[in-house]
């Protein structure tokens, strides 16, 4: 008597959600505002404005940009706003902070705009292993969004998962 071996995972209605496959494309670039400061610390308005006027902003076309100062210079609020006014026509996104903060914002926007229709009423497995560096708070936001439409949520792999949430009957 031979029994057919069924692949229950392959035949499951479980939807696999791999956050890595949703990573927005594009270069991530840190722009150091201190490059336009005298000795990296002193902002003199006229030379600062002149440096921004002559800078090649087109090289940041379609980049994700993080603005900051590597020297820890204390800058007036208008300095980063002025740099932003030059970047806005060419960059995809601009944040004040580090590349880590930039990545968090990129994922935040992507997850917020995600079409949840394909996940309505379904059990969802959020893939746990990733080669990419995905910010942990991206998973937190993802769970919040998916919980509004899913039947149940799991984290990990089909062979080894952690149940996170299930609709109460």
Q: How many CB atoms lie within 10 A of CB 65?
A: 23
What's the pLDDT tens digit per position in 130-154? 767 899 999 999 999 999 999 999 9
Collapse the DSSP code of 162 into the 3-class scheme (helix H, G, I; strand E, B; otherwise coil) and give the result.
strand
- Supply the pLDDT for residue 167: 83
Burial class (CB in 10 A: 0-12, 13-18, 19+), 56: exposed
pLDDT-derived band at 3 (thresholds 50, 70, 90) equals confident
- Supply the pLDDT for residue 9: 52
In whole angstroms, give the CA distance from residue 61 to residue 151.
41
- Output phi, psi for 154, to 5 deg: -130, 160
How is residue 68 written in tokens? 């900051």
Residue 162 predicted with pLDDT over 90: no
- Output phi, psi for 28, to 5 deg: -105, 125
Residue 39 predicted with pLDDT over 60: yes
- Supply the pLDDT for residue 120: 96
The reply to whether the predicted model has a pTM over 0.95 is: no
Residue 125 predicted with pLDDT over 60: yes
Which regions of the chain does DSSP assign to beta strands (E)? Answer: 15-17, 28-32, 64-68, 93-96, 123-127, 152-157, 160-166
pLDDT-derived band at 164 (thresholds 50, 70, 90) equals confident
Residue 113 predicted with pLDDT over 70: yes
The full length of the chain comes to 169
pLDDT-derived band at 163 (thresholds 50, 70, 90) equals confident
In whole angstroms, give the CA distance from residue 107 to residue 101.
10
8 Å CB contact between 37 and 31: no
Share the mean pLDDT of the chain: 91
What's the pLDDT tens digit per position in 10-38? 556 899 999 999 999 999 999 999 999 99
- Supply the pLDDT for residue 12: 66
């Amino acid at each position: 008597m031979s029994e057919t071996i069924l692949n229950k995972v392959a035949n499951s209605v479980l939807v696999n959600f791999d956050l890595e496959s949703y990573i927005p494309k594009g270069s991530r670039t840190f722009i150091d505002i201190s490059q336009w400061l005298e000795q990296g610390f002193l902002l003199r308005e006229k030379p600062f404005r002149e440096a921004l006027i002559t800078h090649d902003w087109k090289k940041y076309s379609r980049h994700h940009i993080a603005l900051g100062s590597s020297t820890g210079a204390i800058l007036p609020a208008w300095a980063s706003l002025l740099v932003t006014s030059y970047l806005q026509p060419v960059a995809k996104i601009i944040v004040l902070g580090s590349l880590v903060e930039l990545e968090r914002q990129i994922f935040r926007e992507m997850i917020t705009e995600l079409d949840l229709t394909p996940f309505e009423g379904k059990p969802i497995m959020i893939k746990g292993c990733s080669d990419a560096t995905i910010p942990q708070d991206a998973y937190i936001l993802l769970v919040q969004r998916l919980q509004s439409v899913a039947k149940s949520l799991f984290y990990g792999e089909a062979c080894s998962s952690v149940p996170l949430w299930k609709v109460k009957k």
